[in-house]
């Protein structure tokens, strides 16, 4: 490392050290990220999937029930299945203005009834599903019945998103991986360039040898021996003219 001799060289030295540290830090950061990806690639891909995609891929509950009709009284049995989380609430609509939130309610109609009873279940994630049953209650009625899918939920049961969400998740993860590796490559190239620039500023430099050339017009004139000078002193005398 060279010793600064003036303010300019001191600033150059400081700037070189800063560049060197920044470049090395950038390289170490890139290598650290690359090591984490290589050591756990599946975890990296999973972490790149947006939370909204994972959340929307969760399964909701499926409503269903059975019922037994005896005259004007109907006993309902909930047969709903939970999705990813437990069912949080149930809402029974008996079709005559009466409702219940019990698991297995029993309802007595005041008069003959012919219509649909609807059960709506909702889980802790707010996802819900409904089922309906065609109930015929009258004096002397004695029958069993099962619910069917609520026509209002029929379109929701054909969840095309359940097919495309995994594909979307994979595409998002692949795109994120490509962007990440591109950033790592850029970080490596930039870090290497910064490190090299910093090293060039602080690396030891060879000593500079300055040679001063005397201008030609300052060269000494040849000295000729004068009379009485010792023999052999000075340059040889010019030959005599012919």
Model-level pTM?
Answer: 0.45
Q: Please, are residues 85 and 124 in contact by the beta-carbon 8 Å criterion? A: yes
Q: What are the two backbone dihedrals, phi and then psi, of residue 107, each rounded to the nearest 5 degrees?
A: -135, 140
Task: Provide the H-helix boundaries in 40-148.
Answer: 41-48, 51-56
Question: How far is it, in rounded angstroms, from Cα 75 to Cα 94?
Answer: 11
Domains and CATH numbers, the chain: 65-151 (2.60.40.10)
Q: Residue 232 belongs to what H/E stretch?
A: none
Q: Which pLDDT band holds residue 9 (cuts at 50, 70, 90)? A: low
Dihedral sign computed on CA atoms, order 170, 172, 173, 179: positive
Q: Which pLDDT band holds residue 88 (cuts at 50, 70, 90)? A: very high
pLDDT, greater one: 106 or 220 = 106
Q: Which pLDDT band holds residue 154 (cuts at 50, 70, 90)? A: low
Task: Report the pLDDT value the prediction gives residue 1, as an integer from 0 to 100.
Answer: 46
The arithmetic mean of pLDDT across residues 104-133, rounded, is 93
Q: Which two tokens stand for residue 108?
A: 């007595």
Condensed to tens digits (0 to 9), the pLDDT of residues 205-236 reads: 665 555 555 555 555 555 555 555 555 555 55
């Amino acid at each position: 490392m060279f010793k600064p001799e003036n303010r300019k060289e001191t600033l150059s030295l400081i700037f070189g050290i800063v560049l060197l540290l920044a470049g090395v830090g950038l390289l170490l950061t890139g290598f650290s990220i690359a090591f984490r990806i290589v050591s756990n690639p599946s975890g990296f891909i999973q972490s790149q999937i947006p939370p909204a995609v994972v959340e929307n891929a969760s399964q909701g509950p499926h409503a269903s029930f059975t019922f037994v009709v005896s005259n004007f009284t109907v006993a309902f049995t909930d047969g709903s299945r939970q999705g990813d989380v437990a069912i949080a609430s149930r809402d029974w609509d008996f079709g005559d203005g009466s409702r219940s939130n019990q698991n297995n309610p029993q309802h007595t109609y005041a008069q003959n009834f012919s219509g649909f009873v609807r059960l709506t279940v909702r889980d802790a994630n707010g996802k819900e599903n409904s089922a309906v049953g065609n109930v015929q209650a009258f004096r002397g009625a004695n029958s069993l019945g099962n619910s069917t899918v609520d026509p209002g939920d029929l379109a929701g049961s054909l969840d095309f998103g359940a097919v495309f969400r995994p594909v979307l998740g994979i595409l998002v993860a692949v795109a994120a991986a490509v962007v990440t590796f591109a950033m790592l490559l850029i970080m490596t190239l930039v870090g290497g360039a910064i490190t090299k620039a910093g090293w060039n500023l602080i690396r030891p430099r060879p000593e500079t040898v300055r040679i001063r050339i005397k201008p030609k017009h300052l060269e000494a004139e040849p000295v000729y021996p004068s009379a009485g000078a010792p023999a052999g002193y000075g340059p040889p005398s010019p030959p005599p003219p012919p």
